[in-house]
Amino acid sequence: MSHMRLCAARHEAGHAVVGQSLGLTLLDVSISASGDGRTRFEHPGAFTVDYAAALLAGPAAEIELHGHRVADTLRRMRSVRSWDEVATDYSAAMPILIEHGMPFDVLFRSVREYLRIPSVEAAAEILARELVRAGHGSGNVLAQLPDANVLWATTMRRWTRRCSRKVHRPRHGLPAQNRLEVESSPGHQRRTRSCSRAPHRRHRFVHSTLGTVPQR
């Protein structure tokens, strides 16, 4: 099995699975012997955020299903000189996101997390293997995902809340370089050292300069 064909198949399977999960009508999905893929949906009438999610599902599937590095995929997506499918998907999705005021980070992370759901991942992988074997697939995955709309809505709400907290988190007057209070050893006075602030950790930061802090 060609590595390139499998990657292309997973890319197209991502488009097909996410697009159908969001109510788009799949016309056909196929890959050629050289690894070029194509997924066509019926024209939605209006280009919505759901259509943009289906576009970004190809690059997201390369990360989640095929193991591509996130940084490399994002670099390819944003390369103005690249004509590969990843860059084309990104350039087609961005005007839709701008029009609807949807942050790219929220939608792309939501699509990636949706593809990590075991039932969704299994449906995409089955379709990808079918594409590698036959060159085209039925793409009818809705029978395998009866609760696709609920799963997607839950994923979108989760990432919208996460990114909203990250963007609008109050700073409470903290200085540009935050300081973490540490205790060197028993019996010694507490001193402060500067450190970077990791958003996933809960540290106790103090608004003070280097020096001694009175013991309590």
pTM higher than 0.75 for the full model?
no
CA neighbours closer than 13 Å in the CB half-sphere of residue 85: 23
Enumerate residues 6+ apart whose C-beta is below 8 A from 127.
9, 13, 16, 17, 29, 137, 139, 141
What CA–CA distance (Å, rounded) separates 181 from 50? Answer: 46
Q: Classify 45 in phi/psi space as left (phi over 0), alpha (psi -120 to 50) or beta.
A: left
Rounded to 5 degrees, φ, ψ at 133 are -75, -45
Residue 201, C-beta contacts closer than 8 angstroms, at least 6 positions apart: none
Q: Tell me the H-state helices in the chain.
A: 3-21, 49-64, 70-77, 85-100, 104-116, 118-134, 148-168
* Three-class secondary structure of residue 191 per DSSP: strand
Enumerate domains of the chain plus CATH numbers.
3-168 (1.20.58), 172-208 (no CATH)
In a structure prediction context, what are the per-residue pLDDT tens digits for the chain, which is 216 residues long? Answer: 578 889 999 999 999 999 998 889 989 999 988 878 899 999 888 899 999 999 999 999 999 988 888 888 888 888 766 667 788 899 999 999 999 999 999 999 999 999 999 989 998 998 999 899 888 876 676 667 767 777 888 888 887 777 766 544 444 443 433 333 333 334 444 433 434 444 444 433 333 333 444 444
Query: Quick one: 125 exposed, middle or buried, by C-beta within 10 A (0-12, 13-18, 19+)?
Result: middle
